[in-house]
């Protein structure tokens, strides 16, 4: 696909970096997908999924507030703010609606968007995510933020990589692991700790019944960060949502198992209908 790198202005004036990926003929009918990455990552979180999508797809992958090249702005982060950032990026791209997909933190942002901007979400794919991290979430996320403040992002690397990927993937794909580590280490500590605080205080459970678009939930079998039970809780709360568990993988299924993610995206409703000869690469 051909990448075009852009910037949009969020409602508070912060600049949001994003990319549009299209096939060689952008005038062809397309399916539109907006992709929202995980905590401490950037739009490259979706590299393998984008590569697996057919050329009739148009993809918008953004850097969330405080991540990648997007501004952090001032003050604390919130998922309503993240949802409005997504809407501003779509406005800049001229996209009235799309299927919205989010991984982990990006899944929380996607849920907030689908509830807050419901007419713009044609479908929702929630990957390795949760609506609530549980009773100890505030203290758990505070501890992670404190560790980053004390020792930098490097102090969290061993913990993170063991949660992101299965041991088999760590062995067979060192380049993919290295890319994630490099992105993780580039995070600015203040923005990272604000995102941790947002996740620790996040409770999106009351929003879930407001989500009316077709929804699919995907989780790795061995995801210890947002386990299958959390995915099931989302499915129970969103009418008609379905759950798929990917065998043998952990938290970053967008990187460890991109083909099932691409298939799930293409299985969600969107317009117009893709050409009959098209297929996943």
In this predicted model, what pLDDT tens digit does every residue of 14-52 receive, in sequence order? 999 999 999 877 666 578 999 999 999 999 999 999 999
| pLDDT for the residue 30 | 76
Q: Domain map of the chain by residue range?
A: 2-133+203-267
More confident: 154 or 275 = 154
Which range among 54-58, 71-75, 96-100, 208-212 shows the weakest confidence by mean pLDDT? 54-58
- pLDDT value of position 26: 66
Q: Are 166 and 256 in contact (CB under 8 A)?
A: yes
- What number of CA atoms fall less than 13 Å from residue 235's CA on the CB side? 16
Q: Distance between CA atoms of 119 and 96, rounded to whole angstroms?
A: 9
Can you tell me the mean pLDDT for 182-203?
98
Mean pLDDT of 59-70: 98
Per residue in 207-243, pLDDT (tens digit) is 999 999 999 999 999 999 999 999 999 999 999 999 9
What's the angle, vertex CA 112, arms to CA 108 and CA 113, rounded to 5?
115
Residue 168 has pLDDT above 80, yes or no: yes
Is the pTM here over 0.75, yes or no? yes
Task: State yes or no: pLDDT of 111 exceeds 80.
Answer: yes
pLDDT at res. 125: 98
Which sign does the torsion angle of CA 1, 271, 263, 164 carry?
positive
Does residue 272 have a pLDDT over 70? no
Q: How far apart are CA 106 and CA 103, in angstroms?
A: 5
* Averaged pLDDT score across all residues of the chain: 93
Q: Would you state the pLDDT for residue 273?
A: 40
CATH of 2-133+203-267, one of 3.40.1180.10, 3.30.70.270, 3.10.105.10, 3.40.50.1820: 3.40.50.1820
């Amino acid at each position: 696909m051909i990448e075009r790198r852009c910037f949009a202005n969020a409602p508070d004036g912060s600049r949001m970096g994003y990319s549009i990926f299209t096939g060689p003929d952008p005038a062809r009918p397309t399916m539109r997908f907006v992709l929202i990455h995980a905590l401490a990552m950037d739009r490259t979180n979706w590299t393998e999924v984008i590569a697996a999508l057919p050329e009739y797809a148009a993809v918008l992958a953004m850097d969330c507030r405080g991540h990648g090249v997007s501004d952090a702005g001032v003050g604390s982060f919130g998922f309503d703010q993240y949802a409005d950032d997504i809407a501003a990026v779509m406005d800049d791209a001229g996209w009235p609606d799309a299927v919205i997909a989010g991984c982990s933190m990006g899944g929380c942002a996607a849920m907030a968007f689908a509830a807050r901007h419901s007419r713009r979400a044609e479908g929702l794919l929630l990957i390795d995510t949760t609506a609530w991290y549980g009773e100890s979430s505030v203290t758990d996320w505070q501890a992670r933020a404190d560790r980053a403040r004390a020792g930098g992002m490097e102090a969290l690397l061993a913990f993170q990589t063991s949660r992101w990927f299965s041991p088999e993937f760590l062995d067979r794909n060192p380049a993919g692991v290295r890319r994630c580590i490099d992105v993780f280490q580039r995070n600015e500590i203040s923005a990272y700790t604000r995102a941790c605080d947002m996740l620790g205080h996040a409770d999106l459970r009351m929003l879930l019944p407001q989500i009316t678009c077709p929804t699919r939930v995907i989780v790795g079998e061995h995801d210890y960060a947002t386990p299958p039970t959390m995915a099931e809780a989302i499915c129970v709360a969103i009418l008609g949502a379905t759950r798929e568990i990917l065998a043998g993988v952990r938290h970053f299924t967008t990187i460890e198992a991109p083909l099932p993610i691409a298939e799930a995206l293409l299985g969600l409703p969107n317009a117009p209908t893709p050409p009959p000869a098209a297929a996943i690469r």
